[in-house]
Structure 1
Amino acid sequence: MALDVARVLTADPDSLARTDIADHAVDALRHSGIREVILLGRRGLPQAAYTGPEFLALGQLPGIDIVVDPADLDDTVRAALSDPGTDPATRLKLTLAAEYASRARTGARKRIVFRFHVSPTSLSGKQQVDAVHLVRNELHETPDGLIAVPTAHAERLDATLVLRAVGYRGAPVPDVPFDPTAGVIPNEHGRVLDSAAAVIPGVYATGWIKRGPRGVIGTNRRDAEETVAAVVDDFLAGRLTPPRRDREALSALLTRRCPNLVDRDGWGLIDAAERANGAKTKRPRVKFIRLNEMVDTARRG
């Protein structure tokens, strides 16, 4: 998420205007005075949550300098790069970081700066924020992995806008097993497991609650396909309990619990309307930005 925010804040508004971004957002970016975006990470480069492809795409943005402090390429990073056993995903991120750290500054009008081993402690300012106060961290090994521990070293970072992008952590669902350490529902290829690691018939998980907060749209698509395949296989094998009521009863129950329910046909109407609105200005689509507009469009069917 943090990399997406940095990319949008520094991108050329004219290029964004050709995408499906909301019109009011493009207008705001056209009048933006943002010239530098600083991303703060509480741990080090190897622990950064972004993916290699996301990091790579950031460095290909035209007219933007990507800044990584060579000091962040510490012994841990060098050891990981020289270790043949380092997993490819981590190696890609560290290799890109080393490349960015060695790049000469082009004098571009905008830049994205990465800072590691720091955590914000407070904000200051009267009418609006004017600074973020930081503390330097050290990494300590624990049974649950590396954690960031604050030191006595503090500093002030001038800023006119602060955005929070601390990631996602799954929350338990009543009567469903949950791993509080990993923040996921324990599962095997989407089939939820009980405390004895046995499959619970008819209970499934997909997305970040299944595997943790990582990956992009393509990752989620493959993940969902795996879980759906498990559901279909279990149905065909007769491992699912037959429903007690019919589809009409299910539809009535869902509508009663969620009056603004949008089914597949309704989603199709929303999709068609957004595409039609986009075609008027040669854009892939113009998205609805208000829930009531989406629901009204879906109900026309």
Structure 2
Amino acid sequence: MSERKLNVAVIGAGPAGIYAADILSKSGVDVAIDLYERLPAPYGLVRYGVAPDHPRIKTIIDALYKILQRGDIRLLANVEVGRDITVEDLQARYDAVIFATGSDRDKPLNVPGTDLPQVYGAADFVSWYDGHPDYPRTWPLEATQIAVLGVGNVALDVARVLAKHAEDMLVTEIPDNVYQGLKDNPVTDVHVFGRRGPAQVKFTPLELRELGKQPDVDVIVYEEDFDFDAGSEQRLAEVKQQKMVVKALMNYAMEEEHTASRRIHIHLFASPHEVLADEDGNVRALVTERTELVGDGTVRGTGVYTEWPVQAVYRAVGYFSSPIPGLPFDENAGVIPNDEGRVLGEDGSALPGLYATGWVKRGPVGLIGSTKSDAQQTIAHLVADAEAGRLNAPAGEAGHDAMVALLDERGIRYTTWQGWELLDAYERKLGEDFGEVEGGRGPRERVKVISREAMTRVSRGEDGGADLDIIGSPEER
């Protein structure tokens, strides 16, 4: 391995990218690491993919903050590969590049009627209520009855936010436009649908139990949806967490009084068959097919169909990664083709110095913590390749200074870790200025700035940054 310091770029400042950078920094290799992020703020899906009323989950930010605060991993944010720089630009300046860009869009669902205007992707809705700077400021909350397709934690987040009264979100960091939208939400019933049974749902016990703690919201589970075959019993015997999920579902099913003004219904053994439109082309109903277990935990259709009157449908059947210009991409799996993190070319051979980690490597499976072990595998291969001399070999000026010079030359308004600390302090000040919320529930920890321009100006300390409209106009999205 060369005597000089290795220069490595990590693309994506969410948990996957930050963990990969941290593990590499402690690997014993003499390395300089630049962490790139396409948004002006770090933390990825922890900031823009976790529901704002989950402060306990968001404590992961504290751990990520401590990693970046050390200063040995340098953040270059508001820089997008394919927009501001290319993969070739990176290869010309780094010995290795690790892609940790995650999954940012909804997995497609091949069901008739999902192209109707009131069928929404959960990822888009989450981005709206989390104040993502690249999404519209308004959301069409007009339905009184809503279907949510999927039985993972994202489906629960979507159902809970849809059913929750806006005032109960005021203690979170939601921007004012999100609060105003939720305040006018006329919903009365949210129906969550899953193809299989209680032993197969992907909810975590904590998420499921929290669902029933929302003021004036009932959770309704149906006794006829409890069925277990041999495969189900085996899973319950092997996975303690699944047994806890089933217990929580049973507790909901045993509740007899439902007096709240809003309700979340959980329907199992109900496979989406078709979304029906009215004469004006708007959603009027969801048709599901009743399924049954076949012995090994999987299900088959029974030919029994039910029509549910709903005016909107949310798809929460999984996330999907986006391709990166200049890299191979598997459109079917939604990942960068790789062998345990080594990016593969069209001929199946490893491309020198290119790596992947996190969801763009293996698909959107697992919780945030699982990205640590995933990153360890990828970094182990990078270190082995470095020791064997199999990395990329930049010909000219390499590393941080060379890339900053390129960004400056192109007029890219990149932001840094110091810039994030400015923005972080600004958002916290907005929360303090909000003061005591109605009902004496305390000041808000922060209020998110959602205009990319305002985020950039505040982070760069530019004149007028703090005076900008924190929502921003649609034209500057």
Pick the TM interval, shorter chain. 0.7 to 0.9
Equivalent residue for 2:304, pick from 149, 153, 157: 153
1:109 is aligned to 2:270: no
Q: Mapping of 1:212-251 within 5 angstroms?
A: 212-216=363-367, 218-219=368-369, 222=372, 226=376, 230=380, 240-241=391-392, 243-244=394-395, 245-246=397-398, 247-251=400-404
1:56 is aligned to 2:209: yes
What do you get for the CA RMSD once the two structures are aligned?
3.9
1:163 is aligned to 2:324: no
1:285 alignment partner in structure 2:
446
SS at match of 1:162: strand
Structure 1 unaligned residues grouped into runs of 5+ = none
Q: C-alpha displacement at 1:242, in angstroms? A: 5.5
Deviations 1:271-291 (A, max 9, x none): 222112112112111112222
Deviations 1:108-151 (A, max 9, x none): 2221111232205123235684522313054698xxx95x7655
1:73 is aligned to 2:230: no
In the aligned structure 1, how far is the partner of 2:409 from the partner of 2:273? 45
1:22 is aligned to 2:175: yes
In the aligned structure 2, how far is the partner of 1:37 from the partner of 1:258? 47
Higher helix fraction (1 or 2): 1
| AA at the equivalent of 2:311 | T
Residues 166 and 182 of structure 2 are in contact (CA less than 8 Å); yes or no, is this contact kept in structure 1? yes
Deviations 1:44-68 (A, max 9, x none): 3333333332222213333322112
Equivalent residue for 2:187, pick from 7, 31, 34: 34
SS at match of 1:4: helix
Structure 1 residues 95 and 80, CA gap change in structure 2 (3 angstroms): farther
| AA at the equivalent of 1:30 | K
2:457 alignment partner in structure 1:
296
Structure 2 unaligned residues grouped into runs of 5+ = 1-153, 435-442, 463-477
1:135 is aligned to 2:288: yes
Q: C-alpha displacement at 1:295, in angstroms? A: 2.2
In the aligned structure 2, how far is the partner of 1:186 from the partner of 1:39? 35
SS at match of 1:119: strand
**More deviation, 243-252/27-36:** 243-252
- Relative to the length of structure 1, the TM-score reads 0.76
In the aligned structure 2, how far is the partner of 1:256 from the partner of 1:118? 54
- Relative to the length of structure 2, the TM-score reads 0.51
Q: C-alpha displacement at 1:4, in angstroms? A: 0.9
1:123 alignment partner in structure 2:
276
In the aligned structure 1, how far is the partner of 2:339 from the partner of 2:206? 27
Q: C-alpha displacement at 1:20, in angstroms? A: 0.2
| AA at the equivalent of 2:205 | G
Identity percentage of aligned residues: 27
1:270 alignment partner in structure 2:
423
In the aligned structure 2, how far is the partner of 1:237 from the partner of 1:64? 58
| AA at the equivalent of 1:207 | G
Using CA pairs below 8 Å that are at least 6 residues apart, which structure has the higher relative contact order?
2
SS at match of 2:369: helix
| AA at the equivalent of 2:312 | L
| AA at the equivalent of 1:219 | G
In the aligned structure 1, how far is the partner of 2:222 from the partner of 2:328? 44
In the aligned structure 1, how far is the partner of 2:156 from the partner of 2:281? 24
| AA at the equivalent of 1:9 | L
2:342 alignment partner in structure 1:
192
In the aligned structure 2, how far is the partner of 1:231 from the partner of 1:255? 33
